[in-house]
Amino acid sequence: MIAEALEIAAIKRNRGRGDVTPITEHDLWTHIAENTSAKPYKELAIDLIGTARRDRENAIDFFIRASLRIERLALSAVEIGRALRDRIKAEAVRSALVATFPRWTAPSPPIATMAV
Residue ranges of domains in the chain: 7-37, 43-75, 79-116
pLDDT score for 104: 63
Q: Give pLDDT, residue 60.
A: 96
Check residue 115 and give its pLDDT: 47
Residues of the chain with pLDDT under 50: 114-116
The confidence score (pLDDT) of residue 113 equals 53
98, 105 contact by CB (below 8 A)? yes
What pTM does this model have? 0.36
Predicted local confidence at residue 96, as pLDDT: 86
Residue 100 CB-half CA count within 13 A: 7
pLDDT at 95: 86
Per the CB < 8 A criterion, the answer to whether 92 and 84 are in contact is no
Q: Which residue spans within the chain are E strands per DSSP?
A: none
